[in-house]
Amino acid sequence: MRNYGLIGHPLSHSFSMAYFNNKFKNEELDCFFINFDIEKLESIRDIIAQYPDLQGFTITHPYKKEIFNYLSFVDENARQIGAVNVVKVDADKKLHGYNTDYIGFKGLLKEAITGKDIKKAYVCGTGGASEAVKFVLRQENIAFEVLSRKNDSYQDLKKHGFHDNELIINATPVGMFPKSEDLLDLPYATANATNVFIDLIYNPEETMFMREAKKYGAKAYNGLKMLTLQAEAAWKIWDKR
């Protein structure tokens, strides 16, 4: 049996294990997917030793950047992005890093902004997921501003509010299960029907971020499509002979 898994902390919100194990069952594949909830990434060495049939794993918050220290090979796209969310374990137990988040986000973005004349994007967050988002926005020639709690960018946005044809992306864990009532401090009341809000969170299905955006007429999307697309891209990497 080939084993795969998800590494991160915490993992109570994740649908990845259910997604992949359902896929393996439906496609009659002799594989199993395990969640590895670890508080320190250095525990990855113990996991690889304990699971000799581990063929690969996905990486989620907060280790998408830290994982670079453990990799023997990094795909060029992942290197440019500066974050890895997929690792393949080779026959010598060496780790190869890739990024499929950008593939997932690209598909989600296309669905969200088709027919819209987006002038600018705001990216909330500075973690690994936001790096994939920025990579795609650059590819699509969409100007963007990164909002971070480390500076006054959130406060600056609150002063002038949103304008027409702007895209707002939540690439933070704020509002994720089990803290589903948490909400980014944004000027939602200035949004309108020309704005698009994308939350990379998929659990809960409708976040407070999405709910507030819809209240003022904006379109809002969760990250489930991104999860599905990046997971299928990850499987292609793992299953490649």
- Tell me which residues are annotated as active site: 64
Specify whether the CB–CB gap between 131 and 59 falls below 8 A.
no
Determine the Cα–Cα distance for residues 106 and 101; give it in Å rounded to an integer: 8
- Report which of 241, 228, 237 is spatially closest to residue 23, judged by C-alpha positions: 228
- 169 closest CA partner among 109, 215, 214: 109
- Residue 131 in contact with residue 81, Cβ under 8 Å? yes
Cα dihedral sign for 122, 128, 133, 138?
positive
Of the candidates 187, 184, 185, 179, the residue with the CA atom closest to the CA atom of residue 199? 184
Q: What is the CA angle 120-121-127, rounded to 5?
A: 155
Closest CA to 168 of 150, 191, 149, 189: 191
